[in-house]
Amino acid sequence: MSRKVVGVDEPVPVRLSLRQRELILDHTFAGPELADRLRVVEAKNRLITAHFTLSEIDELAGFVAAEANHSGERRMMNPNIAGVGNSASVFKRSRFQPLAS
């Protein structure tokens, strides 16, 4: 599989389950500029696909990690369960690579 170089402001697809979207929307402090994109996409086969830039994915992962650190239910807000993990793992699992700064 070949890798695609992704520009700083180029959105990439992020697939989440409905449960993962619910956890992010209900339990994090993600601002409206990120959360609204999760709200407006239609679900297909109980999955959604939202588009975020790599820096937005990193920001969203930070909100999930912050909630995981303060949640009484650690498993519930595990970044991998919530769907975003840390940005390094997103880059590893993805066909996409960020452009060097």
Q: Is residue 101 part of a domain?
A: no
Structural domain including 42 reads: 11-95
Evaluate whether residue 20 is within a structural domain. yes
Mean pLDDT, residues 44-73 taken together: 88
Question: What pLDDT score was predicted for residue 96?
Answer: 44
pTM of the entire predicted model: 0.69
Per-residue model confidence (pLDDT) at position 69:
81
* CA end-to-end span of the chain: 24
At residue 2, does pLDDT exceed 90?
Answer: no
Q: Is residue 5 part of a domain?
A: no
With respect to residue 2, please indicate whether it lies within any of the assigned structural domains. Answer: no
Residue 37 lies in a domain: yes
Kindly state the average pLDDT of the residues 66-72.
79
Beta pairing, strands 4-6 & 96-98: parallel
Asked if the structure places residue 23 within a domain, the reply is yes
Q: Does 1 fall in a domain?
A: no
- Whether the pLDDT of residue 92 is over 60: the answer is no
Of the two residues 85 and 39, the one the predictor is more confident about is 39
Q: Do β-strands 96-98 and 47-52 pair in parallel, antiparallel, or remain unpaired?
A: unpaired
Q: How many domains does the chain have?
A: 1
Q: Does the pLDDT at position 16 exceed 50? A: yes
* Residue 3 included in any domain: no
